[in-house]
Structure 1
């Protein structure tokens, strides 16, 4: 069965999250063909049925059997069983001329009464409106639905409006004024990749003009909320992922699938991150790889994020690895000798070639007597700030060649201010990009070319791991 309805009923917008008030409201759901109107509307009906609120789906565009069959697959639930149990009814009515509309409305109202429906979908109201010549008649129909179906019978009702391709007008204009909530679904592009977007144009009684959010039809459908940091009160053991013959696991199951196993052996890779995305968000992507290397008996070296001390890098990792293993197999670059710890690697803060040599010598020490890989993380923001762009250009080729020969792997990190991003992106084996879109964090592959994934942090296992959900 479908899981909990992601766009919840009976709630209100708060903390920049999207919660739509369904109970007792008339909702206008509009969009171009293929934007997900039917799927989200049936999800509304199904989730109501599963929580004890019978639902009626009235369709003028598709017969009930094909509608139930197609959406059962998409929503991951047996709609026909819900019909047989009397919790859902799909009523397919043929598009009619103006004189036949009152009869069909009476049929709908009778079915609402017989079923005891608390949720109704009309798919689509556009089919009804097209039958009228006078806009005033359209208004009367909407008022009938509003007064008799919603106010008298207490039904939450979604009216679907078809927006033809190439047009921006949502409806005849009348429905928008009468509806309590107006939602527009659309597809848009992010770096030539299609994503789905939901915009709340109107929500009566709540100050959310033009609120936008990304959503997906993957699985049971979900509206994505803005990123919020999550805390873990009782950390649990990090579950490692074995490496593949030709690649090292990122420590993130979803990312390993996208990258066909993880970071290739001998690879230099790039993670590019928008300036709006907080460190607390993207750092997990790096930490999971570091932990997976450490707990698989390997090692890592980190040239830390700009403005972060070695202690700040170590602190969130030490909950999942013992102190002895960390001190022996982890190295975090610093420039100051005072307060030196076993895991600190003090390098020159004046000469990048010298610092690079120090890092590679430390890699060899970590490998001494053992054939094991080392993961290195390099923040290019720190490199450019401390040493300058020209200094990095001088050592870049040598670094990449050395990584390839050794069979290790490296991840470069870049903010928009880094001027070397394009050069490194051109030669990186894997190039990932994280962006903030409509208040939510997304990630996608530039190389390899991938679709767009919503990025969130899952803490259900007792440790934070990025969860990547395709926006399809």
Structure 2
């Protein structure tokens, strides 16, 4: 760790602020009640002790020691044990709010020097300010006493500030100017009214901030979601199939299976709707595991790709991401070439003219029969609805959908239709026919997934770094 930085102990945050808080700095942490300020602060202290050997003090003017210890155990933070080893001290000043501020500050300073503390939380500074006689005393307290002392001993400090509901004002309005860093936590709605939590880093001394807003979750502790482009993966093994639950097809992702109650229904129709700014890799991270699971189970897959997609690149990605061989793909993968140049030849490429929907649909059905005869297994049909609509028109698309839905249900296959942004009339039509309707949107650099049918919570999409091949890690935005 860099000597001039204090790692925060907050998953995902340090990468966004050059490795941590400036050492010996004063950080203002503000937000409405219930936004996660106490969990953030407690995790900062706890992981600072456990992982970096930095003694810490938590000063509370709002919560008793027993109540704090009990609530933090839910997150695996055993502060009682750290107190017994002498690495942690909880200053319960709830009953001292009526005492003089100078007495409270003296207790904090004495504890810092006695423990040689490197981390300090004051929760909340708002409660401390209420005990001051004049507003100007808040500036004196911060500038002349706290900030000077903590910088001298390099004790990196978080000041917690409560923001009342309906107010934009932070504390006594002087903290923002004196603090070296300002972090604001918010709760809001994304994904058609679903809960999402946001962290805003509005100021951090000596730090280049590339974007101000990120999502975070309290699931399993405080964790900030990094933009997917900052995440990397390296394939270390071949895709291993997931066994289908009774009456369903696994999505190839344990996380998505759990969200959907076991996977996609056999004979089911799935609408996968993508929003603005969703890259190919974003949606492939969700849908390619389903393709991989079908192929790994010796089942055929038939694809109508998005307009402009390279059939060779799609196959290449399946090999690169999941370790399939050319023989496996040549035997089980078929890609309909509606807009592919004449120069490319491959056993998995099926060329059609893209002029007469019934003529091309006959080729589609023959290809399905060929794959089913080869494998004696159900088929996955992956269709870019946009491509079909652009190629054949809306009336032909309606005919195709009716025939495809009837055949899928009759034969027990699985059909996934993907729709891009800007074609609401098409997506509404397909949504009415579908058993499952999933949306993938993107905000603050993070892909977000949620189910419209059935309705689900909002999930942040990350790369599962524990998997030997790319799979989505889906974390509920709680």
Task: Decide whether aligned partners of structure 1 residues 4 and 140 sit closer, same or farther in structure 2, where only a CA change above 3 A counts.
Answer: closer
Moved more, 306-315 or 356-365: 356-365
Deviation at 1:439, TM superposition (A): 1.6
Mapped partners of 1:441, 1:166: distance in 2: 29
Moved more, 431-440 or 389-398: 389-398
Deviation at 1:235, TM superposition (A): 4.2
Is 1:35 matched with 2:38? Answer: no
**1:41–1:121 contact (8 Å) kept in structure 2:** yes
Q: Which residue of 2 aligns with 1:282?
A: 283
Deviation at 1:353, TM superposition (A): 3.0
Is 1:347 matched with 2:352? Answer: yes
Q: Which residue of 1 aligns with 2:328?
A: 325
**1:95–1:128 contact (8 Å) kept in structure 2:** no
Q: Which residue of 2 aligns with 1:130?
A: 130
Aligned ranges for residues 244-323 of structure 1 at < 5 Å?
Answer: 244-319=245-320, 320-323=323-326
Q: Give the TM-score of the pair, scaled to structure 1.
A: 0.93
Mapped partners of 2:447, 2:387: distance in 1: 23
Is 1:404 matched with 2:409? Answer: yes
Deviation at 1:21, TM superposition (A): 2.0
Mapped partners of 2:210, 2:468: distance in 1: 38
Deviations 1:342-387 (A, max 9, x none): 2112223112233233222211221127541111111122122222
Mapped partners of 2:211, 2:287: distance in 1: 35
Q: How many residues align?
A: 464
Mapped partners of 1:356, 1:165: distance in 2: 58
**Structure 1 unmatched ranges of 5 or more:** none
**1:201–1:209 contact (8 Å) kept in structure 2:** no
> What's the RMSD between the two structures over aligned residues?
2.2
Task: Decide whether aligned partners of structure 1 residues 67 and 231 sit closer, same or farther in structure 2, where only a CA change above 3 A counts.
Answer: closer
**1:436–1:442 contact (8 Å) kept in structure 2:** yes
Q: Which residue of 1 aligns with 2:162?
A: 162
Task: Decide whether aligned partners of structure 1 residues 223 and 362 sit closer, same or farther in structure 2, where only a CA change above 3 A counts.
Answer: same
Deviation at 1:22, TM superposition (A): 4.6
Deviations 1:10-32 (A, max 9, x none): x7646xxxx65252111111111
Task: Decide whether aligned partners of structure 1 residues 232 and 199 sit closer, same or farther in structure 2, where only a CA change above 3 A counts.
Answer: closer
**Helix, strand or coil at the partner of 1:228:** helix
Deviations 1:64-88 (A, max 9, x none): 12211211212x2322212212222
Deviations 1:165-212 (A, max 9, x none): 122212211111111111110101011101100112222344549711
**Helix, strand or coil at the partner of 2:460:** strand
**Helix, strand or coil at the partner of 2:158:** strand
Deviation at 1:458, TM superposition (A): 2.5
Mapped partners of 1:326, 1:407: distance in 2: 22
**1:376–1:410 contact (8 Å) kept in structure 2:** yes
Is 1:416 matched with 2:427? Answer: no
Task: Decide whether aligned partners of structure 1 residues 177 and 95 sit closer, same or farther in structure 2, where only a CA change above 3 A counts.
Answer: farther
The match for 1:6 among 11, 16, 21 is 11
Task: Decide whether aligned partners of structure 1 residues 306 and 230 sit closer, same or farther in structure 2, where only a CA change above 3 A counts.
Answer: farther
Aligned ranges for residues 73-472 of structure 1 at < 5 Å?
Answer: 73-74=74-75, 76-94=76-94, 96=96, 100-190=100-190, 191-206=192-207, 208=209, 211-228=212-229, 235-319=236-320, 320-335=323-338, 338-368=343-373, 371-418=376-423, 419-472=425-478
Mapped partners of 1:56, 1:232: distance in 2: 38
Q: Give the TM-score of the pair, scaled to structure 2.
A: 0.92
**Helix, strand or coil at the partner of 1:195:** strand
**1:96–1:131 contact (8 Å) kept in structure 2:** no
Mapped partners of 2:360, 2:31: distance in 1: 56
Mapped partners of 1:13, 1:389: distance in 2: 49
Moved more, 239-248 or 353-362: 353-362
Mapped partners of 1:229, 1:60: distance in 2: 39
**2:245–2:262 contact (8 Å) kept in structure 1:** yes
Task: Decide whether aligned partners of structure 1 residues 431 and 139 sit closer, same or farther in structure 2, where only a CA change above 3 A counts.
Answer: same
Task: Decide whether aligned partners of structure 1 residues 224 and 361 sit closer, same or farther in structure 2, where only a CA change above 3 A counts.
Answer: same
Task: Decide whether aligned partners of structure 1 residues 185 and 253 sit closer, same or farther in structure 2, where only a CA change above 3 A counts.
Answer: same
**Structure 2 unmatched ranges of 5 or more:** 1-7
**1:69–1:79 contact (8 Å) kept in structure 2:** no
Task: Decide whether aligned partners of structure 1 residues 209 and 454 sit closer, same or farther in structure 2, where only a CA change above 3 A counts.
Answer: closer
